[in-house]
Structure 1
Amino acid sequence: MTRAAATQIYARLMAGTEGAVCDPFDQHAVASILSLAWGEAVAARDPLSARVGLGGDALGRLVAALFPGAPAALTSDPGPPPILGDDEVAVRDLLWMYASTGSPLQRDLSVMIARRCTRPNHLWQDLGLRDRGELSRLMERHFTGLKRRNSQDMKWKKFLYRMICRSEGFTLCSAPVCTDCDDFDACFGAEEGEAVLAHIRAGREISL
C-alpha cells in the first residue's frame, strides 16, 4: 500500500459523516489532514500519530465525533502521542492560545496543524487542502485572532514562526518594514502549486 491510500481514506471518511453534528467544511478540512497523514504513515511504516500529532484516545474521539462511519482501521493502532520538538510545541501553544472558542476541535486542530508545520511544503499543501484559500478560511473560522493579526497575508508558516520569535524577543530580520525587504517574496509571494492529494489522484507525487 502506498500514499495512494490517502485518497481512498478521504473518500471513506467523507462517506461516514452521517449522524455527525459538525460543519461540512470542518469535516472536509479534518478529513484532508487525516488522509494525507495516513498516506504518509503507510508509505513510511510509521504510526499515524507520528504524522498527525494526535495519539490513540484523542484521535479516536476526533474521528468518532466527525466521522461516525469511519473505517475502524484508521484508529485501531494509531500509536502513542509523538515526541514534540520545541518549535512544534511553540506553534501548538500559539494556536491554542488564539483558539476562537476553545472547543475540543480547535484543541485537536492546534495539535495537528503544529505537527503538519514540520513538513516541507506550503502549509495548505501539508494539510491536504485544495488551496491557500481553504487554509485562510480554516484560520478565520477557528483562530480568528491570528487571522486578523496576519493582516498583510503573510505565508502562514512564516507568520506563525514570526509570532513565536517575537514573543521570545528575537528579531527575524533587519528590514524596518516588510516592503523594504529583499526577501519580501519569500514571506508574501504567491503560494502556488497543486494540492498534494490532487497529485496523488493523478498518479504524481511532490517531494514530501
Structure 2
Amino acid sequence: MVAADVYRALMDTPTASACDPFDRHVVAAILSLALAEADAGGSALAGLGMERGALLALVGEMFPEKVGYIAERVREDAVDVDEEERNIRDILAMYASSAGSLERGLVCLIARRARAPHHLWQDLGLRNRGELSELMARHFAPLKRKNSNDMKWKKFLYRMVCGSAGFTLCTAPVCAECDDFHACFGAEDGESRLAIARNGAALGLAAPQVAYAAQVAHAPER
C-alpha cells in the first residue's frame, strides 16, 4: 500500500464535512504513513495509538465518505500504551486548545508518532516543520506558547514530561551554554516521509524497501 495513494484517496473525496482543509491534510498524512508502515509489516493501529473504533469515528468526522475504505485496511488489534506514552498524552491533553474530538484524536496520534525515530513532523507525514508549528498553534496553542524558544518538538515534549515527573532532563544552566544546543534547537531539515514513499513507488520499490528508505534517510532525532 503506497502512502501517497491513501493520502490522495482521502483528500480527493468531496468535502462533505465542515472540517478545515489543513486539519484534513494532517489527519490524512498521519493515517497514510501508518497504513504504509503496516503494509511493510505490522499493525496500523500500533502506528496510530488509537483503538479501531476511535479511529473510524475520527475518519467519519474528517472523511465521512471513506470510513469503509479505512475500515477495510485496518484490522482489529490491541493497542498498548505504556507509561511514557501516557505521560506524553497527558501533557498534550493538558495544553490542548479545546476538548474537541479532533484534539482528542490528535493527542493519541501525536503521542504515538512521537515514539518514532525521525523528526516529529516527518513521523506525522507532514511536508515540513512549518506544518507542525501550524498544527500545534491551532490545536495546542498553550503548549506552543510555552515552547517560546522553538525547541524541537520531541525534545520539548519529553522535557515537559520529565518536568511534570520532577526530573531534570539535562544539567546545562541555560540552553545557550549547552554543548548539545543544536540537538535541541538545530534545523529540522529533511524530506517528507510521504514524499520518500511516493518516490520509492515511482522507482518500483516494494513496500518494505520504501519503509527502509524512510528509516535511513535521516538521522534519528529524539
Matched, 1:164 2:161: yes
Superposition pairs of residues 20-39 of structure 1, within 5 angstroms:
20-39=17-36
Matched, 1:105 2:102: yes
Matched-pair contact (CA < 8 Å) for 2:3–2:198: no
Q: CA deviation at 1:21?
A: 1.1
Q: Could you tell me how far apart the structure 2 residues matched to 1:92 and 1:71 are?
A: 25
Superposition pairs of residues 181-196 of structure 1, within 5 angstroms:
181-196=178-193
Alignment partner of 1:176 out of 173, 176, 196: 173
Matched-pair contact (CA < 8 Å) for 1:92–1:111: yes
> Which position in structure 2 is the counterpart of 1:64?
60
Q: Report SS of the residue matched to 1:7.
A: helix
Q: Could you tell me how far apart the structure 1 residues matched to 2:84 and 2:71 are?
A: 27
Alignment partner of 2:83 out of 54, 74, 86: 86
> Which position in structure 1 is the counterpart of 2:15?
18
Q: Could you tell me how far apart the structure 1 residues matched to 2:13 and 2:75 are?
A: 19
Q: Could you tell me how far apart the structure 2 residues matched to 1:207 and 1:142 are?
A: 28
Q: CA deviation at 1:79?
A: 2.0
Q: CA deviation at 1:81?
A: 4.7
Matched-pair contact (CA < 8 Å) for 2:89–2:107: yes
Give the 3 Å change call, closer, same or farther, for CA 110–136 of structure 1 in structure 2: same
Q: Which has the higher contact order (CA 8 A, sep 6+)?
A: 2
| Runs of 4 or more above 6 Å deviation | none
> Which position in structure 1 is the counterpart of 2:5?
8
Matched-pair contact (CA < 8 Å) for 2:88–2:111: yes
Cα RMSD of the aligned pairs, angstroms, is 1.4
Q: What count of residue pairs does the alignment treat as equivalent?
A: 204
Matched, 1:52 2:32: no
Give TM-score scaled by structure 1 length. Answer: 0.94
Matched-pair contact (CA < 8 Å) for 2:59–2:67: no
Q: Report SS of the residue matched to 1:206.
A: helix
- Which is worse superposed, 16-25 or 72-81? 72-81
- Which is worse superposed, 123-132 or 67-76? 67-76
Q: Report SS of the residue matched to 1:129.
A: coil
**Residue identity in the other structure for 2:188:** E
Q: Report SS of the residue matched to 1:70.
A: helix
Matched, 1:124 2:132: no
Q: Could you tell me how far apart the structure 2 residues matched to 1:147 and 1:138 are?
A: 9
Give TM-score scaled by structure 2 length. Answer: 0.88
Q: Report SS of the residue matched to 1:106.
A: helix
Q: Could you tell me how far apart the structure 2 residues matched to 1:60 and 1:200 are?
A: 24
Give the 3 Å change call, closer, same or farther, for CA 78–108 of structure 1 in structure 2: farther
Unpaired stretches in structure 1, ≥5 consecutive residues: none
